[in-house]
Chain A
Amino acid sequence: ETGVTQSPTHLIKTRGQQVTLRCSSQSGHNTVSWYQQALGQGPQFIFQYYREEENGRGNFPPRFSGLQFPNYSSELNVNALELDDSALYLCASSQSPNQPQHFGDGTRLSIL
């Protein structure tokens, strides 16, 4: 059984640029959640997608957006990157919105 996979593993961008991060959910999982983890902190919820629809959003500005595809894979898009966006971005999938979430190894995003 393949777990949650994320790409790329590392990314360097400059302020003002746009970035797309990708996530493949675990087999049999239809729900994907995205989290931002700053250094020394716990993950912070960005949003969740369930059956291709947004199913809840945390306290992040609209320049953070996402998509979920028919195969339940997902993208996180961030526009107008700011220095504070430097973090580990984690994707988690689950069998349904209220089932335990299983995480990928994340994308380390650095903004210069």
Chain B
Amino acid sequence: GQQLNQSPQSMFIQEGEDVSMNCTSSSIFNTWLWYKQEPGEGPVLLIALYKAGELTSNGRLTAQFGITRKDSFLNISASIPSDVGIYFCAGQSGSGANSKLTFGKGITLSVRP
């Protein structure tokens, strides 16, 4: 089935640094979403992207929908300790019965104070 590729599995950064995460797919998606999950909680929606080339910001987070519709990236600027968590990309390929989300395996972000 479809798979989204996120790597590396873990990232370690210093507080105040910027970090960028990529997500790639062999299939085209119509919508890209980025979620953050913390221990004991469900994924929380960070940003949703609907058009190829779209660049959207949410505070210190910026995400882009790749022009090939097969990739997306998420950038976090000026990281803080509460940015720690697992970041998942997810693609949505259609509407109706095809509106399921396909997730990557996630990137675990650690921020050193």
Contact = CB atoms under 8 A, between A and B. Distances in A.
B66 interface: no
Contacts of A33: 100-101
Nearest to B88: A42
Nearest to A59: B1
A interface, size bucket: 20 to 34
The A contact surface, by secondary structure, is: loop
B interface, size bucket: 20 to 34
B76 interface: no
A55 B96 CA distance: 7
A48 B99 contact: yes
Contacts of B105: 40-42
Nearest to A6: B42
A41 B44 CA distance: 16
Contacts of A103: 35, 42-45
B4 to A, nearest CB: 8
A56 B102 CA distance: 13
B95 A98 contact: yes
Given A56-B96, A56-B98, A90-B42, A43 B33 contact: no
Contacts of A105: 40-42
Contact of A43 (B41, B43, B44, B99): B43
Given A59-B1, A97-B96, A45 B42 contact: no
A41 B97 CA distance: 23
3 residue pairs, one from A and one from B, having the closest CB atoms: A42-B103, A103-B42, A56-B97
Given A43-B43, A48-B97, A106-B42, 16 more contacts: A33-B100, A40-B105, A41-B105, A42-B106, A44-B103, A48-B100, A56-B100, A59-B1, A97-B95, A98-B31, A98-B94, A100-B48, A101-B33, A102-B45, A103-B45, A105-B41
Interface of B: 1, 4, 31, 33, 35, 40-45, 48, 88, 90, 92, 94-106
23 contacts: A4-B42, A33-B100, A35-B101, A40-B105, A42-B88, A42-B105, A42-B106, A43-B88, A44-B103, A48-B99, A56-B99, A58-B100, A90-B42, A97-B95, A97-B96, A97-B99, A98-B92, A98-B94, A98-B95, A100-B45, A101-B45, A103-B45, A104-B42
